[in-house]
A = this chain, B = another copy of it.
Amino acid sequence: MNLLEFTHIIRKNVTVRDHIVDKKIVDVAKRAGVSAATVSRVLNESSLVSEKTKIKVLKAIEEMDYHPNAAAKHLRSQRTMTLGIIVPDINVSYFSEIIKGIENKAYAHKYKVLICDSDNQIEKEMEYLGLLPDKTVDGMILVTPRVSDDTINDYVQKGYVIGVVGRAVVHENILSCKTDNVKFSNEAVRHLVEQGHQQIAYIGGYSDSLENYERMEGYMKALKEGKIPFLPTLIDNGDFEETGGYQAFSRLLERNQSFTAVYCANDEMALGVYRACRERGIRIPEDMAVVGVDNNRITEYLLPSLSTVEQPKYEMGAHLTEKLIAQMNGNEQNAQKKYVIESKLIKRESSSFKR
């Protein structure tokens, strides 16, 4: 057996195992009888290639089923056309709706989307942020309350592209899209006041977040407008999960400070309130009115159906993505950074009982 035969066998074995025999741009060039540069020009629709060669090249590409290698393009172009999204839990509909909005807009601009589910762990989120200096992604969208404003700001200062959805951020230069917490919280609590409630509890989210501060502000403003005294004992906080809402509500009850309505920072925690009420024989809405936030799909199917504040999740994701991509393309360098989308109260059975 000569060397040629032997080589052939090796090749064959490799082929059998791996068998994706990749065509490169030079192979296409060879077949079309032109140079790699010309093929590249055809691929990138450069105007400076004659119609005749263009046809030759396209034919070769077609015949060879040639696909340009992404890694090589990325290296050369210094962009990956990929956006990262960091979320605490992709399986929570609030997040998956936002992701959907992001994905759709990204797709429309030929961007791909890398999902970074942090499982609620800040360490994982910090690790995923490393995809920016890695240049694995061209930009990152944060839909998480965990990474601190300062951390985000540091990255932005270094020149990395970051956008934030559904969260208030202090720093001026950070691109964000959210709803008006003060306004809709005010509206929700005012609705309860109008229903005749005089003692209204509030179950907030993370107590030290800017959102929570803003929502408290809306809550207190509504009390003030209704000439209702503010009682700190009617305030508690949860973690945006069912159990957290259940526990916060239980604590409120144990304080022996009576109340007839509760405004929850999200629907998930309102579910916990429902469970606590069921266990204790408290009737919704007769004994206790409940209003949530998010308008999760589930709220319609609950009995009684849950009043809630619609959060335009899809729109927030989509809108931020649009602005982020515009920024990456160098347009709108000095464009607005803070976007606020309208949200509105949806009145349902859980707050329908008039006192």
| Chain A 103-123 per-residue mask, 1 if CB under 8 angstroms from chain B, else 0 | 110010000111111010000
List, in ascending order, chain B residues with CB within 8 A of A71's CB: 71, 74-75, 78, 80, 135
A114 touches B117 (CB 8 A): no
Question: Known pairs A96-B96, A107-B117, A301-B301. 12 more at Cβ < 8 A?
Answer: A19-B158, A65-B133, A70-B135, A71-B71, A71-B74, A74-B74, A90-B96, A90-B103, A91-B99, A93-B93, A112-B116, A115-B115
As for how many copies of this chain the complex holds, the number is: 2
C-alpha spacing A97/B89, complex, angstroms:
10
Which residues of chain A (116-137) have a CB below 8 Å from chain B? Answer: 116-117, 119, 124, 130-131, 133-136
Which 6 pairs from chain A and chain B are nearest by CB? A71-B74, A67-B133, A71-B75, A19-B159, A20-B159, A70-B136
B100 touches A90 (CB 8 A): yes
Tell me the dominant secondary structure on chain A's binding face: mixed
Q: Select from chain B the residue with minimum beta-carbon distance to A117.
A: B103
Minimal beta-carbon separation of A311 from chain B (angstroms): 14
B119 touches A104 (CB 8 A): yes
Q: Check A271 for interface membership: any CB of B closer than 8 A.
A: yes
Which residues of chain A (246-283) have a CB below 8 Å from chain B? Answer: 271
For chain A, which range describes its interface: under 10, 10 to 19, 20 to 34, or 35 or more residues? Answer: 35 or more
- Selected from B17, B68, B89, B297, the residue in CB contact (under 8 A) with A134 is B68
- Selected from B18, B72, B135, the residue in CB contact (under 8 A) with A75 is B72
- Selected from B22, B72, B160, the residue in CB contact (under 8 A) with A20 is B160
Q: Select from chain B the residue with minimum beta-carbon distance to A275.
A: B301
Q: With A69-B134, A70-B135, A301-B298 known to touch, is A91 a contact of B80 (CB < 8 Å)?
A: no
List, in ascending order, chain B residues with CB within 8 A of A80's CB: 70-71
B112 touches A113 (CB 8 A): no
Minimal beta-carbon separation of A166 from chain B (angstroms): 15
Minimal beta-carbon separation of A275 from chain B (angstroms): 10
Q: Check A303 for interface membership: any CB of B closer than 8 A.
A: yes
List, in ascending order, chain B residues with CB within 8 A of A117's CB: 100, 103-104, 107
List, in ascending order, chain B residues with CB within 8 A of A74's CB: 70-71, 74-75
C-alpha spacing A229/B113, complex, angstroms:
51
Q: Select from chain B the residue with minimum beta-carbon distance to A84.
A: B112
C-alpha spacing A107/B18, complex, angstroms:
25
Minimal beta-carbon separation of A94 from chain B (angstroms): 10
C-alpha spacing A281/B85, complex, angstroms:
45
Q: List 29 A-B contacts (CB under 8 A).
A: A18-B159, A20-B158, A22-B135, A67-B133, A67-B135, A70-B131, A70-B135, A71-B71, A71-B74, A89-B100, A90-B99, A90-B103, A91-B93, A91-B96, A93-B93, A93-B96, A96-B96, A103-B115, A104-B117, A107-B117, A112-B114, A112-B116, A112-B131, A112-B136, A114-B115, A298-B298, A301-B301, A301-B302, A303-B303
| Chain A 1-44 per-residue mask, 1 if CB under 8 angstroms from chain B, else 0 | 00000000000000001111010000000000000000000000
Which residues of chain A (58-87) have a CB below 8 Å from chain B? Answer: 65, 67-72, 74-75, 78, 80, 82
List, in ascending order, chain B residues with CB within 8 A of A112's CB: 114, 116, 131, 136
C-alpha spacing A114/B137, complex, angstroms:
11
Minimal beta-carbon separation of A24 from chain B (angstroms): 12
A69 touches B103 (CB 8 A): no
